[in-house]
Amino acid sequence: MGLTVGIVGGTGAVGTKMIEILKEKNLNITKLRLFASERTVGQKVLFNNEEITVELLTKEVMKEKFDYLLLAAGGTISAEFAPIAADAGNIVIDNSSYWRMTEGIPLVIPEVNGNILREYRGIISNPNCSTIQMVMVLAPLHRRYGIKQVVVSTYQAVSGSGHEAIDELEKQLLDKNYPNKVYTRKIAGNCIPHIDIFNENGYTREELKMVYETHKILDDNTIKVNPTAVRVPVIYSHSESIFLEFNEEPDVDEVRQILEKTKGIIVDDNPAENKYPTPLETADTDYTYVGRIRKDLFNSRALSLWVVADNLRKGAATNAIQIIETIENFK
């Protein structure tokens, strides 16, 4: 029997990408329902040759029976509607940050800790996009060498801020006088070291997400994570420069072999031939790409690498759909 799937926020950047990926996947979906605010209610979306009308999100529809409900809306929406849907017996996969650090709610990257979903029902949290691609790489290396410290700088695409940010960048590229509305500075030709609000300790909320989510997913609070999150004038795919210090000395060749054998990772690393991943080349794919793997010049137990992944796909929508696939494979 086919699956009934609902998407809350189905007309936004992540929700639209979820629909696109559901079309690509080999999931037997017999019914797809889309929910949104009054602003986009009534819009038509084509899915598997069927025209689907966007419905108004209400508490009553969340009490109906779904096999899976994907929440691609903000934290306020998730806080209100996810418990209603879960109490009705639905599996809810939430892309917002609201439930990520809640005890008892799994924070899942299927390739890393998907085993915790076996026989689970209720709310499942999708990690932050930057956390996902980083932990994809950290997890297998942590199992082998034990990670002591992470220093990461992110270079994050504007699509992480939604359709309005993409529009703003494109207009500023054509008109240098076009004003900034989404960001604190003009993004075209610029880098902004400010994503989300600042905490009293000087770190942004985006940066602290990477710290706490990494600890929860890897189940290890001893790892020191020091992040700097930067918005850059790229439309799709986040990039990360990552420094890793291990508990024992890593072997670079072995590191490459470990990553090459890890599901969901592609190693693209041959400096002699200028081979390394970039946002343009990795956009619209579901893999996490790794390059520039090299030992630290002064610390024998450390190395650096470069990680790139499509933030709307593996960083959000694809990871959520992979959660569905993981649960279905357990049946």
- Determine the Cα–Cα distance for residues 189 and 46; give it in Å rounded to an integer: 36
Comparing CA positions, the residue from 31, 99, 36, 37 lying closest to residue 66 is 31
Selected catalytic residue, list 163, 191, 194, 238: 238
In Å, how far are 89, 153, 209, 256, 290 from 147, measured between CA atoms?
38, 17, 18, 16, 17
Active site residue 191: no
Strands (E), 37-177: 44-47, 50-53, 55-56, 68-71, 91-94, 123-125, 147-156
Comparing CA positions, the residue from 216, 218, 220 lying closest to residue 105 is 216
Is the separation of the CB atoms in 251 and 292 below 8 Å?
no
Task: Tell me the helices (H) and strands (E) count for the chain, helix number first.
Answer: 10, 14
- Determine the Cα–Cα distance for residues 280 and 268; give it in Å rounded to an integer: 14
- Determine the Cα–Cα distance for residues 138 and 112; give it in Å rounded to an integer: 10
Q: What is the DSSP string of 251-281?
A: PHHHHHHHHHTSTTEEE--BGGGTB---HHH
Selected catalytic residue, list 129, 142, 191, 194: 129
Is the separation of the CB atoms in 114 and 323 below 8 Å?
yes
Instruction: Kindly list the catalytic residues.
Output: 129, 238
